[in-house]
Structures are given as structure tokens and as C-alpha cells.
Amino acid sequence: MRIEQLEAFLLVSETGSFQQAAKKCGVTQSTVSRQIQALETELDAPLLHRSAQAKLTVAGEALLPKARRMCQDWRQATRDIADLMAGKQPELCIAAIQSTCSHLLPPVLQQFCQSHPHVQLRVTALGSDRSLKVLRDGLVDVAIVMDNERLTTSPDMSVQPLYEEPVEVLMAADHPLTQFDQVPWAALAEYPQVVFKDGYGMQRLVQAQFERSGGELHAALELNTLDAFRGVVRQGQLTALLPQSALTEGQPDPTLAIRPTEAPTLSRRVVLVTTRDRLVIPIIRDFCQLVMERGACFLPPQSAAQLLSVEPF
């Protein structure tokens, strides 16, 4: 069953004439006749009485309201898709890890809103695993997450690197580990850690690094907000390993101290992920390009130039 067959059927039922229907369709009368015959063959029922004036059969009467709805739905679908491809998408949904919501996205969101005032932005701070899940489920258009090949290597996914940043130690200003300019992993393993909850890439990253260094991670507490990390750490002996961008607000705080680790240093890579079919939609492509340009600001000049020299979309 094809939409033009249904449209021909509707025109014949409205005009009572194959000739008039053909004129409205802009085709020959024989073409309309073939379309109706093909529809009748597929349904295995006559739809019209062929007489001086074409009239609906019982089967035709049953088909008529359904044919109208199907044609209306088709016309609405074509308008919606045309609007989508013309950049008239009504909203854009983003899922991102918390630190990017506070330092990477604000200027991007401001610039995007100025360029696309008709688009409503919806941004949700989630862990990497959850962000990728809602992307796959079609609940968001773009995810900004920690790179994880196990989660992002899929032929239908587009994964673009944004930046890489060091992971450093957050602790109270009077913590014993502040004696080190670079905190040894062996010394760090002697103190309990505050870690991100399960489902956050940082938890896996920190766990793997302790295993590689031969120490053991003593996870005393799981949290999922940066404010909570700072509040808990400043109370005493707990320490936390956090990416540099998540430590920005803690730097001027006299009750907190931040130190790099000794080699091997730990870093995390942040990537932008979307599905390849979404990249043909102008609104999504424009947003991704803005994020890529902003991400280049967090890279060394040479790396940023190399990143922006590649046309990802």
C-alpha cells in the first residue's frame, strides 16, 4: 500500500470522478485507475462502483476514514521532518558529566541560545554510563562524557575527543598529605577515599589506577556532586581524586588543598558522543561544532589546532 494510492482513492471518493481526481493529482486518468486497482488487489476487495459517478462500496466506506487519517499523518510527518532538516527543531536535549556543566558548557549554551532562540535547551548532569544510556534510548541528542571504549565503540555512534585533563588530589588544608608537592600513590593508599558513585567513569578510573600502582583503594564514601566532595573532604582525613576542572572552585578555598600525584600521573579524556543519524540534523550539528570549538580551548595549542583542522561532522 502506497500513499499515492490512498490519495488517489480519497480524491476519487471526494469528486466522484476518475477524471477530476487525475486533474487534481496532476497525472493521467489511467494512472489514477491503476493506483485504485492496485489498492483493490492488495486489499482483495472492490472499493468503488464504476458507473457514471464513482461511488464507494462497503469496503470503500470502511477504508475512507482510515485513509484520511493515514494521509493526514503522512503529510504531518513530511512537514515535521522538513522542519527538522531545516533547523526548526523545537528542543535539544543534552546529558553531560557534572564538571562540564559548570565550566565547558555555559559559554556554549549562551552562544547557542543567541544563534537559535527558538530552540529550547534541556541539559541534565549525569554520570557517563547513564548519559550514554539515555543517548542510546533516544532521550537526549548529545552526551558529553568520560571516554570509555567499552561504552562508545559502536558503528552507529560518533565519538569526538574534546580534551584531556589531569586528575589531582583534593584534601583538607591540614591533611598530612599536604607535606608532599606530588603525592605518592603509596602514601595516598594509606587514607580513605571519597569516590564517585557506581556508574561514574571516575570511579573506574581511580580504581584501575590504584590496582596498577599496587595499592588498594579504600572507598569510605560514595558521592555524586562536587559540592558534597568539597564539604566532606574539608572535615578531616578523607581525600578525593578529581579531574582538574572539578577542582576549580576548591582552589581559592583556604580550608582545602590540591596536589598533583607522583608518576604515573592519572588523567581523564572527555569526549562528545552522539549518533551518526543525528549529525545530519542542523541544530544538533551546530551544537556539536560549538562544543568542539570550546573543547579546543582546554587543549595545548598544537593539539587544539589538530583537532579543529579535522571536519568531524
Task: Indicate if 154 and 171 belong to the same structural domain.
Answer: no
pLDDT at 305: 44
Spatial CB neighbours of 41, under 8 Å, sequence gap ≥ 6: none
Task: Indicate if 159 and 118 belong to the same structural domain.
Answer: yes
pLDDT at 284: 93
Q: Which of the four pLDDT bands, split at 50, 70 and 90, describes residue 309?
A: very low
Which CATH number covers residue 158? 3.40.190.10
Longest CA–CA separation in the chain, Å: 101
How many Å separate Cα 127 from the centre of its chain? 13
Task: Indicate if 76 and 26 belong to the same structural domain.
Answer: yes
Contacts 24+ apart (CB under 8 A), 274-277: 274/135, 274/141, 274/142, 274/143, 274/157, 274/158, 275/135, 275/156, 275/157, 275/158, 276/156, 276/157, 276/158, 277/156
What is the C-alpha separation between 161 and 192, in angstroms, rounded? Answer: 32
Pair 207, 216: CB distance under 8 Å: no
pLDDT at 298: 63
Task: Indicate if 15 and 40 belong to the same structural domain.
Answer: yes
Which CATH number covers residue 34? 1.10.10.10
Handedness of CA 121, 125, 128, 130 (dihedral sign): negative
Q: Which of the four pLDDT bands, split at 50, 70 and 90, describes residue 151?
A: low
Task: Indicate if 170 and 252 belong to the same structural domain.
Answer: yes
Taking residues 124-137, what's their average pLDDT?
Answer: 91
Task: Indicate if 142 and 210 belong to the same structural domain.
Answer: no
Handedness of CA 141, 145, 150, 152 (dihedral sign): positive
| Residue closest to 196 by CA, chosen among 263, 243, 136 | 243
Let me know if residue 41 belongs to a domain. yes
In this structure, what C-alpha cell is assigned to residue 273? Answer: 558522543
Q: Which of the four pLDDT bands, split at 50, 70 and 90, describes residue 182?
A: very high
Residue type, 89: Q
How many Å separate Cα 42 from the centre of its chain? 42
Strand 193-196, strand 219-223: pairing = parallel
pLDDT at 304 over 60: no
| Averaged pLDDT score across all residues of the chain | 87
For the chain, the straight-line distance linking the first and the last C-alpha, in angstroms and rounded, comes to: 36
pLDDT at 147 over 70: yes
Q: Which one has a higher pLDDT value, 154 or 192?
A: 192
What is the C-alpha separation between 215 and 211, in angstroms, rounded? Answer: 6
| Residue closest to 168 by CA, chosen among 297, 268, 253 | 268
**How many domains is the chain built from?**
3
Domain residues for 156? 91-163+269-308
| Residue closest to 138 by CA, chosen among 288, 278, 285, 287 | 278
Task: Indicate if 174 and 259 belong to the same structural domain.
Answer: yes
Taking residues 2-30, what's their average pLDDT?
Answer: 88
pLDDT at 302: 43
**pTM for the structure as a whole:** 0.73
Pair 172, 162: CB distance under 8 Å: no
Taking residues 18-39, what's their average pLDDT?
Answer: 89
pLDDT at 199 over 80: no
Tens digit of pLDDT for each residue in 224-238?
888 899 999 998 889
Q: Which of the four pLDDT bands, split at 50, 70 and 90, describes residue 150?
A: low
pLDDT at 301: 46
Helices within 137-184 (DSSP H only): 149-152
Let me know if residue 313 belongs to a domain. no
Taking residues 165-178, what's their average pLDDT?
Answer: 94
Task: Indicate if 132 and 276 belong to the same structural domain.
Answer: yes
Tens digit of pLDDT for each residue in 34-88?
998 999 999 999 999 888 788 899 998 999 999 999 999 888 888 878 777 776 7
Task: Indicate if 135 and 63 belong to the same structural domain.
Answer: no
Residue percentage of the chain with pLDDT more than 90:
48
Q: Which one has a higher pLDDT value, 168 or 211?
A: 168
What residues pair up with 271 in beta bridges, in sequence order? 145, 161
Q: Which one has a higher pLDDT value, 171 or 197?
A: 171
Pair 160, 288: CB distance under 8 Å: yes
Tens digit of pLDDT for each residue in 245-287?
889 888 889 999 999 999 888 999 999 999 999 998 889 999 9
Task: Indicate if 222 and 254 belong to the same structural domain.
Answer: yes
Q: Which of the four pLDDT bands, split at 50, 70 and 90, describes residue 312?
A: low
pLDDT at 313 over 60: no
CB atoms within 10 A of CB 179: 9
Taking residues 119-131, what's their average pLDDT?
Answer: 91
